[in-house]
């Protein structure tokens, strides 16, 4: 038996319904449409479906009226992206204000780390861009020479003049330009009453084509005229003020007149030639210095510089291979040194300059890597602080997440909320860090010997800053964004979610990383300063206190030795005076042509050679081991020499007094042996040195000031004497103690910068500890109250809250100590004269780190331990 299905009720016209939904206001649609549908059903029963459909259309069109069409504003507006972002930032800002202490620690620590990283970044950028000022930077090189003597290979920037002609004649296709140059030295420039001591070079005219000058006035080809000079803009302003200097006459060293043919823009500070404030013609050099003229065909006199620009179709390695043995072919007498010529590219002058036994081992590039590593780690410390505090505080916001989800927030909205808070903190820290960098740049430049500035218009700077900021914000905000947003609201609101002990493990690991880095930097800094002090405490073999050096840079000084000395002694400001060919803090000349009795066949007599006058030993305070000083009572002293201990050891003399040494066709007798005098680097071994009498060779005056007078008073007394005998020059002098201290400047700057970075690293780490200790004490408020009620003492509670942090610092010390020893021991190997790494350095650093940790943590620990337990339990 089958049944027929009940037919479905007629439905209103679909098109009419769509039209109704289109023009009727949303808030009226449901009511109006319901009424029309009921009316349609009634009319179907009364007049039939066909007529009911027509009536439905009539009714729908009859409602096309303004009051039906007019929309009402939505009570719940649909927010767009900008509205949501504004809301996220508003909530983030309120959270920062609500928790001012944590916000200050977060923003301050991160800003400090960013500022350190920026300063180091500017320093590294300055180092890496050294000499980039020159257009042909990538094809310019200096010709250097390596010679082997007594099994050791020496590398020097000094070459012989004939090498230039040989390269031009035999390898002209490999070079675009070649130019000889003197060393950068002090000269007196005078224009009327204006007299200044400035540093500059004598160069061949091709020098200005190889290193195109940015001319302010005149022509860079002005050195084509031998009696000409090119001035830097600063020197031109000093000599001539606002007047046009072109074609004006300048007197150099009170003896030769030259014409100004051009003014060029001062070289930047981060260039090899930053001290070159003027350029003189090489042809004038040959006229002014007869010894230079005599060296034009002398392959044995390595006293000059040679700069080259290689042709575009070749490279440095290929040209170096071609020219390596050019001197050995031309100078047979020099073949015993196995001379090798090499091109040292300008791009490597500054960063790769330290040669050891013929191998380029290191240079300032090691400091670039060092500070780059420190910058990364200091920024990492700041980021660790940020992440630790951010994740720690985020655990207290689980209930907030539950409420937000209960009222309809999506997980994506919660993720955006947490990230917006993280990025807001990072951007605030970035703004503060830029301000800190700007304020600290003058101080930083003074310590680092730089002239850096923030390149505000450089898009690379902003790209790096924003990129690092976004990365930091993402990493720090990822934990609360992805972990907390996954909580189920019902569990959170019921309190069934508990954060276990394992949640603190990542934070503890990050604290260990923080203090490992900080302790490593501190240990390294202490070792650097110990090495500097070790070299400073090294016996130098003479007394440099009150020792003054005056360069004999004009002809007026020569021939007046006894007169100048007598007048200086009559002032009572000087206790002695002498002349020499090398300052006490440097060795300007060496010679390998010495011979003596018992010299081995393959031994090369390479000695430092210094010309002195009779009073030199008493002026500098020589310390004699054997024999005597030069004396006017012995006419034979004109063929006498004094040697240092290293020279005696090198020659193998057991009783050196009265032994004979042959040099330059003359036979000299050893009359005295002095203690080794440290004239070159205090970090290097002393070179065997010979001192001989030669008044004509000496070009420096040494004055020993009276220790009973102040330096200012003594200088005021001796200045008239120098002005009397050298009236056309300013009274310029240098203290030997200052010149000696200059030898430690590089290491001292590294030590000072490392100290600053170490202090900041500890500061950032302690900020993090302070914040975590505060958070831990806040979390354990109820526990502390219960323990106090049960009789726990303040000391017990302090111990309870502090021990975890002490353990973390001890672990850091155990990790940092071997790391620091490994790296710093490797660093010390570059110094032949070096200190040792003592155990107390690690013990003292560890004790200091523990003390700082206790002081940092104890404030919060004791504060929590002293809290009234009734109040803490009630607050919970």
- pTM of this structure: 0.79
Q: In 3D, which of 703, 738, 741, 707 has the Cα closest to residue 719?
A: 703
Please check the confidence at residue 735 and state whether its pLDDT lies above 80.
yes
Highest mean pLDDT among 23-32, 306-315, 843-852: 306-315
Bigger pLDDT: 318 or 852?
Answer: 318
The pLDDT of residue 609: 94
What is d(CA 423, CA 300) in angstroms, rounded to the nearest whole number? 67
Q: In 10 A of CB 169, how many CB atoms?
A: 8
pLDDT in tens, 396-441: 666 777 777 777 777 777 777 778 778 888 888 889 999 999 999 9
The pLDDT of residue 727: 84
Please state the separation of Cα 598 from the chain's center in Å.
51
Please check the confidence at residue 73 and state whether its pLDDT lies above 90.
no
pLDDT in tens, 232-263: 999 999 999 889 999 999 999 888 899 999 99
Conformational region of residue 196, where left means phi above 0, alpha means psi within -120 to 50, and beta covers everything else: beta
Sign (positive/negative) of CA torsion 346, 352, 353, 359? negative
The pLDDT of residue 392: 64
Lookup: tokens for 683: 């970090």
DSSP state of 154: E
pLDDT in tens, 350-373: 898 888 888 887 788 888 888 888
DSSP state of 268: P
Is the CB of residue 760 less than 8 Å from the CB of residue 378?
yes
Using a 10 angstrom Cβ sphere, with 0-12 exposed, 13-18 middle and 19 or more buried, the burial of residue 745 is exposed
The pLDDT of residue 828: 87
pLDDT in tens, 629-667: 999 999 899 999 999 999 999 999 989 999 999 998 899
Please check the confidence at residue 866 and state whether its pLDDT lies above 90.
no
- Parallel, antiparallel, or unpaired for β 640-644 and 689-693? antiparallel
Bigger pLDDT: 167 or 472?
Answer: 167
pLDDT band for 2, please (50, 70, 90 cuts): very low
DSSP, collapsed to helix, strand or coil, labels residue 452 as coil
Conformational region of residue 483, where left means phi above 0, alpha means psi within -120 to 50, and beta covers everything else: alpha
The pLDDT of residue 27: 73
What is d(CA 86, CA 140) in angstroms, rounded to the nearest whole number? 56
């Amino acid at each position: 038996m089958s049944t027929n299905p009940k037919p479905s009720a007629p439905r209103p016209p679909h098109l009419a319904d769509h039209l109704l939904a289109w023009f009727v206001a949303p808030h009226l649609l449901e009511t109006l449409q319901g009424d029309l549908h009921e009316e349609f059903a009634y009319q179907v029963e009364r007049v039939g479906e066909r007529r009911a459909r027509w009536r439905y259309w009539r009714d729908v069109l009859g409602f096309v009226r303004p009051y039906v069409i007019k929309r009402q504003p939505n009570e719940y507006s649909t927010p767009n992206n900008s509205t949501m972002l504004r809301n996220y930032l508003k909530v983030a800002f309120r959270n920062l204000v609500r928790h001012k202490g944590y916000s200050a620690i977060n923003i301050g620590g991160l800003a400090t780390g960013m500022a350190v990283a920026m300063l180091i970044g500017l320093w590294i950028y300055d180092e890496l861009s050294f000499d980039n000022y020159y257009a042909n930077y990538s094809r310019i090189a200096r010709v250097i020479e390596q010679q082997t003597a007594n099994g050791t290979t020496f590398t020097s920037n000094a070459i012989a003049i004939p090498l230039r002609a040989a390269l031009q004649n035999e390898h002209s296709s490999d070079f675009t330009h070649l130019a000889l140059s003197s060393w950068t030295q002090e000269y007196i420039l005078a224009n009327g009453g204006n007299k200044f001591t400035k540093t500059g070079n004598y160069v061949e005219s091709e020098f200005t084509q190889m290193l195109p000058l940015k001319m302010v006035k005149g022509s860079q080809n002005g050195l084509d005229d031998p009696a000409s000079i090119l001035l830097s803009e600063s020197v031109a302003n000093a000599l001539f003020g606002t007047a046009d200097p072109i074609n004006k006459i300048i007197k150099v060293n009170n003896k030769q007149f030259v014409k100004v043919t051009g003014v060029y823009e001062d070289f930047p500070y981060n260039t090899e030639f930053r001290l070159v404030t003027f350029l003189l013609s090489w042809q004038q050099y040959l006229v002014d210095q007869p010894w230079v003229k005599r060296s034009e065909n002398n392959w044995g006199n390595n006293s000059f510089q040679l700069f080259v620009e290689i042709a575009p179709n070749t490279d440095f390695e290929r040209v170096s291979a071609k020219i390596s043995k050019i001197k050995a072919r031309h100078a047979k007498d020099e073949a015993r040194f196995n001379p090798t010529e090499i091109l040292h590219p300008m791009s490597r002058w500054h960063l790769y300059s330290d040669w050891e036994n013929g191998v380029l081992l290191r240079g300032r590039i090691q400091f670039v890597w060092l500070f780059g590593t420190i910058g990364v780690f200091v920024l990492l410390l700041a980021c660790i602080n940020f992440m630790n505090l951010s994740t720690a505080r985020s655990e207290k916001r689980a209930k907030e997440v539950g409420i937000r989800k209960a009222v309809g927030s999506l997980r994506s909205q919660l993720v955006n909320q947490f990230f917006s808070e993280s990025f807001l903190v990072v951007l605030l820290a970035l703004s503060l860090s830029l301000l800190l960098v700007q304020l600290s740049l003058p101080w930083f430049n003074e310590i680092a010997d730089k002239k850096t500035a923030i390149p505000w218009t450089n898009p690379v700077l902003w790209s790096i800053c924003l990129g690092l900021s976004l990365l930091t914000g993402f990493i720090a905000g990822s934990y609360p964004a992805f972990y907390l947003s996954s909580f189920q609201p019902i569990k959170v609101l019921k309190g069934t979610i508990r954060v276990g002990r394992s949640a603190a493990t990542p934070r503890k690991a990050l604290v260990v990383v923080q203090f490992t880095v900080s302790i490593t930097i501190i240990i390294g800094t202490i070792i650097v300063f110990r090495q500097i002090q070790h070299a400073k405490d090294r016996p130098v073999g003479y007394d440099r206190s009150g020792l003054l050096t005056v360069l004999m840079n004009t002809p007026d000084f020569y021939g007046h030795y006894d007169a100048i000395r007598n007048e200086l002694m009559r002032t009572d400001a000087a206790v002695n005076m002498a002349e020499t060919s090398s300052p006490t803090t440097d060795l300007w000349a060496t010679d390998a042509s010495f011979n003596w009795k018992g010299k081995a066949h393959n031994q090369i007599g390479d000695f430092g050679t210094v010309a002195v006058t009779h009073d030199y030993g008493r002026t500098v305070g020589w310390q004699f081991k054997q024999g005597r000083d030069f004396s006017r009572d012995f006419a034979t002293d004109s063929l006498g020499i004094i040697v240092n201990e290293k020279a005696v050891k090198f020659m193998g003399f057991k009783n050196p007094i009265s032994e004979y040494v042959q040099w330059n066709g003359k036979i000299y007798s050893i009359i005295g042996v002095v203690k080794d005098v440290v004239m070159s680097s205090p970090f290097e071994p002393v070179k065997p040195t010979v001192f001989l009498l030669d008044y004509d060779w000496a070009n420096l005056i040494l004055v020993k000031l009276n220790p009973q007078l102040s330096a200012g008073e003594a200088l005021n007394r001796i200045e008239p004497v120098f002005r009397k005998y050298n009236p056309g020059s300013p009274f310029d002098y240098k203290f030997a103690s200052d010149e000696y201290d200059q030898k430690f400047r590089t290491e001292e700057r590294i030590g000072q910068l490392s100290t600053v970075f170490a202090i900041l690293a500890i500061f950032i780490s302690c900020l993090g500890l302070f914040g975590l200790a505060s958070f831990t004490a806040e979390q354990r408020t109820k526990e502390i109250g219960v323990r106090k009620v049960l009789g726990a003492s303040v000391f017990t509670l302090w111990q309870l809250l502090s021990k975890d942090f002490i353990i973390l610092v001890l672990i850091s010390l155990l990790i940092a100590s071997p790391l620091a020893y490994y790296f710093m021991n490797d660093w010390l190997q570059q110094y032949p004269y070096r200190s040792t790494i003592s155990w107390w350095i690690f013990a003292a650093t560890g004790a200091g780190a523990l003390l700082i940790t206790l002081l940092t943590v104890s404030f919060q620990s004791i504060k929590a331990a002293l809290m009234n337990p009734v109040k803490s339990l009630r607050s919970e």
